[in-house]
Amino acid sequence: MRPVLIENARLIDPEGDRVFAASVLMEKGVIAEIAEGDGPAPEGLRDRAPAEARIDANGRFLAPGIVDIGVKVCEPGERHKESYKTAGAAAAAGGVTTMVTRPDTDPVIDTPEALEFIRRRAQEAAPVRVLPMAALTKGRAGSEMTEIGFLMDAGAVAFTDCDRVIRDTRVLGRAMTYARSLGALVIGHPQEPGLSAGAAATSGKFASLRGLPAVSPMAERMGLDRDIALIEMTGVRYHADQITTARALPALERAKANGFDVTAGTSMHHLTLNELDVADYRTFFKVKPPLRAEEDRQAVIEAVRSGLIDVISSMHTPQDEESKRLPFEEAASGAVGLETLLPVLLRLYHSGDLDLPTLFRALSLNPSRRLALETGRMARGAPADLMLFDADKPLILDRFKLRSKSKNTPFDNARLQGRVLATFVGGKQVFAA
């Protein structure tokens, strides 16, 4: 693979917490050199890349590629909603260089054989890195643990039953104990399932006005509290997939202060939308957990800023038109997000809520660290998984132009700012605007 030189860029370094002018040489799949300073790269660096392999960034941002934990690719089972080919193209166009995929497919990814199948499919069809997660219990049924050891050998990077909460504490406790002995990461969905059953909205004035079955935000706190008690009991490495309410944050803070091996994520939708966006039963805004009150959104932004919440994910969940064109209660949950992740989150940058190093800590560095990956850093020797983007370019999103097979984004027709210009995976360009 020939070297690539990106000149005259502004580098986002989430580790060093700074943004600086520099040129970057990618060679043999890694970041070979970083030369600080404005304008063209020094001659020594230019000599190492042929003229046609030099890219003038024109002062645009260069950041570590996004590592997106919790992407649903609907293979096997629902390829009409999304395949590795379409998800991969969407990821590349969105600056997502690693998709960490969910096992909640049909059938569930709960055996090494099933995992092997999707690894093969991913390798054939997706231009970005794909790291699969496996189910924690067989069939996500919450009764018997999966072959965690074999699955890890086959390449599973984490274990999760996704949005299906394991009700039986004994089953979860044993699975955690076993996972701990192998050093496996368990990802939980903090939610008290008795309270959240059948809910389509967050309880409060809006849900009452719309007459929608709703769940109290307290259900998230209760789910997290239970999981934290089990973490204390078992010592497992744990990541909460989405923390979306103010009420859950003190519990998370205490768990971290107690030194438990706990991290937490949140979704792009909970950071940028609130329950009122559902308006007249717009089903593209139905996600799981449901959108929250504005105070919750603000609290979650603050938690990302302070580092209490470690990771931001797209929670990319493709749904076809049929499953969304139903009465709100019956409509499927979830939204696509791979391609809109960056411009949507840049809203928080433009509003002054989050600076770019903080954003990329949550998007690239922290998820990489949590999964013990080398990516996510802007440093010599790190994998050359990079994205070049224009943070200001305005656009009106047209959902039918998305590369995902499913077009279920809540940001259709939204005014956004920010555009990915180029994406590199292991030094190879996989997307150019």
Partner 1 sequence: MRFDQRHLLGIEALRPDEITTLLDLADKYVTLNRSRNKRSGILSGLTQVNMFFENSTRTQASFELAGKRLGADVMSMAMAASSIKKGETLVDTALTLNAMHPDLLVVRHPNSGAVDLLSQKVNCAVINAGDGRHEHPTQALLDALTIRRAKGRLHRLTVAICGDIAHSRVARSNLLLLHKMENRVRLIGPPTLMPAGIEAFGVEVYHDMAEGLRDADVVMMLRLQKERMDGGFIPSEREYFYRYGLDAEKLALARDDAIVMHPGPMNRGVEIDGTIADDINRSVIQEQVEMGVAVRMAAMDLLSRNLRARPTEVMA
Contact residues: partner 1, CB under 8 A:
203-212, 214, 216, 280-281, 322, 325-330
The least distance separating partner 1 from the CB of residue 216, rounded to whole angstroms, comes to 7
Non-local (6+) Cβ contacts of 431 within 8 A are 92, 93, 95, 127, 420, 422, 423
The least distance separating partner 1 from the CB of residue 335, rounded to whole angstroms, comes to 18
* Nearer residue to partner 1 within complex by CB, 199 or 402: 199
* Nearer residue to partner 1 within complex by CB, 36 or 322: 322
**What is d(CA 157, CA 100) in angstroms, rounded to the nearest whole number?**
8
**What is d(CA 295, CA 298) in angstroms, rounded to the nearest whole number?**
5
Phi, psi of 307 (to 5 degrees): 90, 0
* Nearer residue to partner 1 within complex by CB, 259 or 327: 327
Q: Which secondary structure element, helix H or strand E, spans residue 100, and what is its range?
A: strand 96-101
The least distance separating partner 1 from the CB of residue 330, rounded to whole angstroms, comes to 6
The least distance separating partner 1 from the CB of residue 294, rounded to whole angstroms, comes to 13
* Nearer residue to partner 1 within complex by CB, 327 or 381: 327
* Nearer residue to partner 1 within complex by CB, 216 or 417: 216
The least distance separating partner 1 from the CB of residue 209, rounded to whole angstroms, comes to 7
Q: Which secondary structure element, helix H or strand E, spans residue 5, and what is its range?
A: strand 4-13
The least distance separating partner 1 from the CB of residue 245, rounded to whole angstroms, comes to 14
* Nearer residue to partner 1 within complex by CB, 222 or 231: 222
The least distance separating partner 1 from the CB of residue 328, rounded to whole angstroms, comes to 5
Question: Measuring CA to CA, which residue among 66, 67, 65, 63 is closest to residue 24?
Answer: 63
431 C-beta neighbours (distance < 10 Å), count: 24
Would you call 228 helix, strand, or coil by DSSP?
helix
The stretches of 239-338 forming alpha helices (DSSP H) are 249-257, 268-272, 294-306, 321-324
Does 127 sit behind a cis peptide bond, omega within 30 degrees of 0 on the bond before it?
Answer: no
The least distance separating partner 1 from the CB of residue 408, rounded to whole angstroms, comes to 15
329-to-150, 197, 216, 281, 282 alpha-carbon distances in Å: 39, 12, 16, 9, 11
Would you call 66 helix, strand, or coil by DSSP?
strand
* Nearer residue to partner 1 within complex by CB, 244 or 340: 244
* Nearer residue to partner 1 within complex by CB, 15 or 329: 329
The least distance separating partner 1 from the CB of residue 359, rounded to whole angstroms, comes to 33
DSSP secondary structure of 129-193 = EEEE-B-SBGGG-SSSB--HHHHHHTT---EE-TTS----HHHHHHHHHHHHHHT-EEEE----H
Does 290 sit behind a cis peptide bond, omega within 30 degrees of 0 on the bond before it?
Answer: no
* Nearer residue to partner 1 within complex by CB, 210 or 305: 210
